[in-house]
Structure 1
Amino acid sequence: MKTIFSSLAALGLVTAGAALISEAPAQAQVVRGIGVVNLRAVAVNTSAYTTAAQQRQVTYRAQIEQAEQRRQQLNAQLQPLAQRFNTDRQAANPNQQSLQQQYQQIQQIQQAGQEEIQRILAPVALSVAYVEEQISDQLNTAVENVARRRNITLIFDPSTGSPIYADAAYNMNQDVINEMNRLLPAAQLVPPAGWQPREIREAQAAQNGAAQQQPQQTPAGQQPTGR
């Protein structure tokens, strides 16, 4: 082997061979037939979504401007109340009852204002939901079509780590069912006396273990005995 290796080195083939060997692991890391698709990122970058977002600003301009105007009015109303609340709270002896009343007033105005703004923007929110539903209805079909064209058999969503598409060849349900039927052909219907679900048994075992690990306390007034 040493002679052969030396001969290869003399011919200048060792370096090339080493390069091929070092590249092999990198090539082996690419698994054919597997892909990743971030469904949310795909949805919000489609032409349907981006075009609808632009058109929505025009179609619902009246509601958007009305909501923005109401938001500015609400902020103008709340700002002096918040300043007064902060000033009174920093006093040497703040009146807690007055502070509580001020806080409740601010909360009520803020909540009522937010609900009003939501009512104004309700048509806009409905438009967003309608567009997203249309995109969602076609998303699975788009994934399946691309998977077939690119010979992809398994696709994961990296945002969740869950598979979103799998070829039928990956379906092992029936195989596992058959194995379970072999391991456990039938289950006992009536539990034995004193039986408890696993969660309860494990919790009780943990409690018993913790109780046994607690150090024994010396009774009051009794000194530890020495040798």
Structure 2
Amino acid sequence: MKIYMKALALGLAPMTAIALTTAPAAAQSKTGIAVADLQRAVGTSAAYTAARTQMQTTYKPQIDAFNARKTAIDADLKSKGDALQAALTAAGNKPTPAIETQYQQFQQQQQTAQAELQRMGQPIGLANAYVEEQITAKLSDALKAVMTKTKVDLVLSPEATVSYQPTVDITQAVVTELNTLVPSVGITPPAGWQPGRQGQAAAGAAPAAPRSAQQPQSR
């Protein structure tokens, strides 16, 4: 099962211009610029990798049930979609009242199936969001630490650039800092936890580290 990770937004302003000032008998100042893929940094951190591996074991029944149901739904919808296309072709690609009814029923079945899969995948999606939030809570600190060490004043996302040399990419350095700041995270959200409510569980116990005994290969 593939769970997409949500896009990270740290409020890093895009570069519009770099003002250079001169002083008598002094060289122009130079702004250090770097590129960092923060989404990739979180996704390749040690804590995230270990958590996803642990989730494959802890949530295996839910993952297997989701995949099995999705396979069945996809097959059923494909069969009905093919039947609908065959009926439309037989009618000379001219929708008839019967075909329109068939199409509406097909759309309803698609919506019902999507809602069912969303319900089935909710525990896994919530766990993944919990893992991400624990790591992204330290992402700003990790980025600032790297900027200080590399003497960088401005960081851009890869999407905000036209072209850049690999030497200005500090993504791996951010990963290294994250691995130090967040060596491990928990995968079971506290009761009532919802994404985006940072710190709601911070007052409680610290997240449990992934158990090393659970190291299955997965999604």
TM-score bracket, shorter-length normalisation: 0.5 to 0.7
* 1:2-48 Cα deviation digits (max 9, x unpaired): xxxxxxxxxxxxxxxxxxxxxxxxxxxxx673322221121111111
| Matched letter for residue 85 of structure 2 | N
Partner of 1:214: none
Question: Comparing both chains, which one has the higher relative contact order based on Cα–Cα distances under 8 Å and sequence gaps of 6 or more?
Answer: 2
Partner of 1:123: 123
Matches within 5 A, 1:89-128: 89-92=88-91, 96-128=96-128
Unaligned runs of 5+ in 1: 1-30, 162-227
The CA deviation at 1:102 is: 0.9
Query: Do the aligned partners of residues 103 and 150 (structure 1) sit closer, same or farther apart at CA in structure 2, a change above 3 Å counting?
Result: same
- Structure whose CA Rg is larger: 1
The CA deviation at 1:126 is: 0.5
TM-score by length of 2: 0.54
Do the aligned residues in 1 keep the contact of 2:31 with 2:154 (CA within 8 Å)?
no
Query: Separation in 2 of the partners of 1:149 and 1:101?
Result: 64
Partner of 2:45: 46
Query: Do the aligned partners of residues 152 and 84 (structure 1) sit closer, same or farther apart at CA in structure 2, a change above 3 Å counting?
Result: closer
| Matched letter for residue 61 of structure 2 | A
Partner of 2:132: 132
The CA deviation at 1:118 is: 0.8
Query: Identity across aligned pairs (percent)?
Result: 34
TM-score by length of 1: 0.52
The CA deviation at 1:121 is: 0.7
Partner of 2:81: 82
Moved over 3 A (4+): 92-95
Query: Do the aligned partners of residues 32 and 66 (structure 1) sit closer, same or farther apart at CA in structure 2, a change above 3 Å counting?
Result: same
Query: Separation in 1 of the partners of 2:71 and 2:152?
Result: 52
Give the count of matched residue pairs: 131
Do the aligned residues in 2 keep the contact of 1:81 with 1:102 (CA within 8 Å)?
no
Partner of 1:72: 71
Matches within 5 A, 1:1-227: 33-92=32-91, 96-160=96-160
